[in-house]
Every structure is written in structure tokens, then in C-alpha cells.
A and B are shown apart, each in its own frame.
Chain A
Amino acid sequence: MKFSKTHEWLSLNSDLATVGITQHAQEEISDVVFVELPKVGKTVSQGEEIAVVESVKAAFSIYAPVSGTVVEANETLAKDPGLINRSPTEAGWIARLKPKNPADAAALMDQGQYDAWVKGGGH
């Protein structure tokens, strides 16, 4: 699993990348009450908004950790947005991408680097 400085995670499995938000991000956002999912077929560039996760108080933009095409969105979140709080890195995944260039992921942080980034107050 790889991490962005904007608190998204990415998990590469053969040629598909699953994207969600980190445990730290879900704690920051608190009660997720709505998720605006990306449309399947949408192409996004690295760092571009891919979804919007909303808490009671505010809307948070979620950015694509790599460039690619959306092949699946987690429709379960439409009915149960709180899944992001309960299981941010597993059942609460947001979208699956077909990366344009899987090597893009190399620029992301690993778990140790991300934890240090968060600990340093990184945002």
C-alpha cells in the first residue's frame, strides 16, 4: 500500500489500483455522511479530484494518487458512507483505477514514510 501527501492510499494489484482515504484522514474528517463517487470511465490525472467525501461539517476533495481511468466505484458507500470511518483501508475503498502508468506509484510514500509525515504534522 502506498500513500499520498494528501492522505489517500493506493493499493496496486496486477494492473488495477484501488484508492481510498487513510485512517488518519477518516479521523480528521470524522462522521462521513456522504460520498460523491467518480463515474466509471472518467479519466483523471495524478492530483486531480476523484471524489468528494463529506462530513456533517465540511466537504473534502479526494485526489487521484496516480493518473488513470476509473473502472469501478464503491457503490456500497452511496448507501453506507460511514463505512469509510469504520473501514477506511478495506471495505471503505472509494474507486478502482486502471493506471495510465503504474510506475507513477513509485513517487508515493510507503507506510513508514507516511506515518512519519503525519506525525510531523504534514498537511
Chain B
Amino acid sequence: MSSDVASPPETSLKRTSLYPQHAELGARFCSFAGWELPIYYTSILKEHEAVRTKAGLFDVSHLGHLEVSGPDAAAQLQLLVTQDLVALEPGQAIYSPMLNSRGWIMDEMIFYRLDPGRFRMVVNAANGDKILSWLKSRLKGGAAVEDLREKVGTVALQGSAAAEIFGKVSSLVLKSVPRYHVVSATVVEKPVWIARTGYTGEDGCEIFAAVEDLPAVWKGLLRAGQPEGIQPAGLGARDTLRLEAGLPLGGSDLDEKTTPLESNLDWTVQWRKGPFMGREALERQRREGITRKLAGFEMKGAGIPRPGYAIFQGETRVGQVTSGTMLANNRAIGMGYVPPQVAKPGTRIAIEIHNRKVDAEIVKLPFYRRPKQ
């Protein structure tokens, strides 16, 4: 057997403060963006299922925490992102791409307005250095960036049982905090920020804690969630969950050659807010039209789409797969870039899998939507 996809951990990788817990739980590790992280503990499918039906706990401490503060923080950040950060209320959070002057996505992140003059940003692990130096070069007096990556870690508690489990380790009622909001609280008596965000398509929260407090938070939640069937969940399930929820992954579905208009992130572009980096390029693209668009598809024939596979319409190669997997329900799903006229739900395409063209159909994203409670 051999595979060109799965790679064993390399040496000199960074480890999160939860590494001993992962090892104790029997995690299988992988390397991701310079970090040695659990890919799964028991099985990707089981962990995926646990998050969809009960709850899962993820160590996502590889995500980079940066903080921009100062009286002029909102106004200056406003010029660097597509979303309207000035309109963001303290206690609110918002997802936004950060573009370069060509309108290409340097990174996408969530901004949490902790105080009127204080924005926490959580950025992709691979892009932390780049975004930090970008901010340093762009911010002027009245706003400064602080690198919290060595100090702050994150665990994500996700699933329909998340609120119930959370209630056992904190006096905060999770459901009293609306989605895309952030509050300070204590969990197992440790000071934390509770963010009502996630990357799985389920209810839950992300917990920001000092790296030295994170093991207590992690252990407390796993213990508290035992009756509900909580599972520690690795990067493997995180990836299949986010794909099923139709959420793009930076570095796979999004990169520095992609604009928000091509990647279904039109909704993050606040045209009415005034100038921002990349705006002119985006306006030009809006005028001229996009030539490719990120679309979801489902396999009709037998096979699993993987990143890099070619997408065909008839005999013509029209695009490339950027994400793909097969889920326990035998649904093989993926995302990829195709011309806009191909990107319409119902369009028949084929994916070239091991030198065979296998039938697939463009479908509306997301593949999964959590049932209303």
C-alpha cells in the first residue's frame, strides 16, 4: 500500500499545550501548517458522527490569535478587510477575508470586538506571520497589533449537546449568548473568552484560554460531557465536518490567487462601507464578471473526489477539485472551481478519478444544515 496524501509527522513541529492529553488519549498525529496535531483519536467517521449527534471537543490551538487595539483600531482595520468592522458592536464577531491590492484573499479570519477599541483576530495557522507583518506595516499611530500566538490557545466544543455540557463547567448559560457573539466567562474556574463561533455547522462555542489553563479546560469539558457522549475530535473530522457544512478551507479552497467573488464570499463584501484594500480590483471583477466560481458537487458514480483532481464537462476540462471526501452515509462530496455557467445546481459534470471519468452533479451548498431546534 502507498499513498501520496497522508504524511507522517515531520520533525521540529510545534505542539500545543494539550499535546500530553492527546498522547494519553491515543491520538494519531499529523502535521498541519507547522504543527503536530491529532488527526483522529478513534476514527474520523466516529468523531464526525459524535459532533453531528452529540458533541465533540477539538484542540484548535494552532489557530493564531492576534489583537489590534487602540482608539483608532476600528477605523484602521476597516481599511484592511471587506466586512464592516466599524458597525460591529462590542461583543460581536464577524467573519472576513483580508485582501491584497489585487483583491486576492491573503487570509480569512474572525474578528471579535472585545471592547470598543480592541479586536481579537483568529487567523489561519499557516498565515499568522504574514498577517502579523502585514498589520505591522499598515497600522499607524492609534492602533497597534499584539501577537498572542504563544499565549492563547483554543478549544472548540461543537455539537447539539454542547450547551448542556458547557453548563456543567461554567455559570454562563451558553444559549444566552447569540451566535457570532463573544463574552468573557470562567470555565473550571479559569478566565476565558467564550465565542459563539465554530467550523462544523453545529451549535457550540470556541473557548480562548491562556495556554497554561487550557489543559484544565479540556479535561473539565471531557469529564463533564461523558454522560452526553462527548468525543475528543481531531483535524480529520474537523475537515469533513466543515466540508459537509459547505465552509471553505484556507489554503485548499481559498488562496492568494482567489477573490471573495469567486469563492462564494460575496456576502462578506460590504460595498457601502467605503474604501478598503482590494476594493478597486473587486469592483473591476464585479464589472467584468468572474471566470470561475467555487461550487459544491456530489458524486453520482463510484469514487471519491480529492484535491487536485480534474473536473470535466463532457470531454472538456473545466476545473479542479479543491476539497473532497466520502462520509459514512456513502455520500462522496466535494468542492471545486468551475466556470460560473457550470456552477449551477443540477449541472452534470465528471471528476477524473484514477484515470476514469466518474459522474457527478453540481449541488447547492451546504451539503448539511443543522436541524432547527
Contacts and interface: CB of A to CB of B under 8 A. Distances in A.
Nearest to B28: A30
Contact of B5 (A31, A33, A57, A62): A57
Nearest to B325: A56
A50 B124 CA distance: 39
Interface in A50-68: 52-63
Given A57-B236, A59-B3, A31 B304 contact: no
Contacts of B326: 33-34, 54, 56
Size range of the interface on B?
Answer: 20 to 34
B1 A57 contact: no
Nearest to A56: B44
Contacts of B39: 57
Given A52-B354, A54-B304, A56-B240, A30 B1 contact: no
Nearest to B6: A58
Which of A33, A57, A58, A63: most chain B Cβ within 10 A?
A: A57
A74 B45 CA distance: 23
Contacts of B240: 56
A8 B1 CA distance: 7
A54 B306 CA distance: 11
Contact of B304 (A7, A34, A63, A78): A34
B218 interface: no
A6 B304 contact: no
A61 to B, nearest CB: 5
Nearest to A36: B354
Contacts of A56: 44-45, 48, 236, 240, 325-327
Which of B1, B5, B40, B45: most chain A Cβ within 10 A?
A: B1
A29 interface: yes
B45 A33 contact: yes
A28 B43 CA distance: 11
Interface in B321-363: 325-328, 330, 332, 354
Contacts of A53: 1
Nearest to A121: B8
A81 to B, nearest CB: 9
A37 to B, nearest CB: 10
A78 B5 CA distance: 22
Interface of B: 1-3, 5-6, 28, 39-40, 43-45, 48, 236, 239-240, 302-304, 306, 325-328, 330, 332, 354
8 contacts: A6-B2, A25-B1, A34-B326, A56-B48, A57-B6, A57-B39, A60-B2, A78-B302
Interface of A: 6-8, 21, 25, 28-31, 33-34, 36, 52-63, 78
Given A33-B326, A58-B6, A60-B3, 11 more contacts: A6-B1, A29-B1, A30-B40, A31-B44, A31-B45, A33-B330, A56-B48, A57-B6, A59-B3, A59-B304, A59-B354
